Structure 1
Amino acid sequence: AVTQAEGPAVAVPPPPQIDPVKAAADAEAEALKLAQLEFLKKMNVVRRWCVKISTHEDFEFVVFVLIFANIVTLAMYNPLKSDSSRYNFVLDRIQLGFNAFFTLELILRAVASGGPKAYLSNAWNIFDLLMVLAGYTEFLPASWFGNNTQSVKALRALRALRPLRTITRFDSLRAIVVCFLEALPLLSSAVLLLLIFIFLFGVAGIQLFQDAAHQTCCNNVDGSYPDPALTENSDEWGCGHRHCPSNYTCTTFSDVVLTDGIGFNNIAAAMVSVIQILTYAAWSYMMYRFTDTYGIYAIIYSVLCIIIGCYFVVNLFIAVLKIKFAKAQTLFHSKLAKMSKKKRKNILGRGLDMGMVRPEDGDEMAPLKQFIFDQRWLVRQLVEDNRFNQAFLGITILNTFFLALSYDGMSNALAETLTISNYIFTGLFTMEMILKLFALGFFEYVADSFNIFDGVVVVLSIVEIILDVLKVSSKGFAGIRVLRAFRVLRLFKVFKYIKSLRKITEVLLASAASFLAIASLILLFMIVFAIIGLHVYGGTQQSDEYPNFSTFLLSVTTMFQVLTLENYDNVQFQLADDTNFGALIFILAWVVFGYYVLLVLFMAIILEAFESKYDKGTIQDAYLA
Structure 2
Amino acid sequence: MAEAAEGAADLKPNFFAHGKARRFSPKSLYLFSTTNPIRKRIVWLIEWKYFDRFILMLIIANSIVLALTDYSSVLPDGTLSMSSWRNQVVEETEIYFTTLFAAECSLKIIAMGFFVDIGSYLRDGWNIMDFVVVMTGVLTTVPGMPNVSAFRTVRVLRPLRSLTVVPGMRLLVTSLLRSIPALLNVVALLLFVFAIFGILGIQIWQGLLHARCRMTPYPIQRVGGGVEGCEDPRSESCAAVVADPSKWEKCHAVPEPWNPETPWTTPVDCFWPVDDTDVFVCSMSGGGAHECRSDRWCGSNYDINGQPRFSNAGQDKATFVRDLNWGYTNFDNMFAALLTIFQMITMEGWTDVMYQVQDAHNAVVSAVYFIFLILFGSFFLLNLTLAVIWDNFSMGSKEADDEAEAAADEARREAEAAEDEAGADVAVPIADGGEGSEAGEAAGGEDGEGDRANEPCITRLVKHPGFSTFVVVLIVANTVVLAWDHHPMDDTLSNNLEIVNFVLTILFTIEMILKLWGLGAKEYARDAFNLFDAFIVTVSLVEMIVLPPNFLSADPQEGGGGGG
Structure number with greater Rg is 2
Normalising by structure 1, what TM-score?
Answer: 0.46
Q: Which is bigger in relative contact order (C-alpha 8 A, separation at least 6)?
A: 1
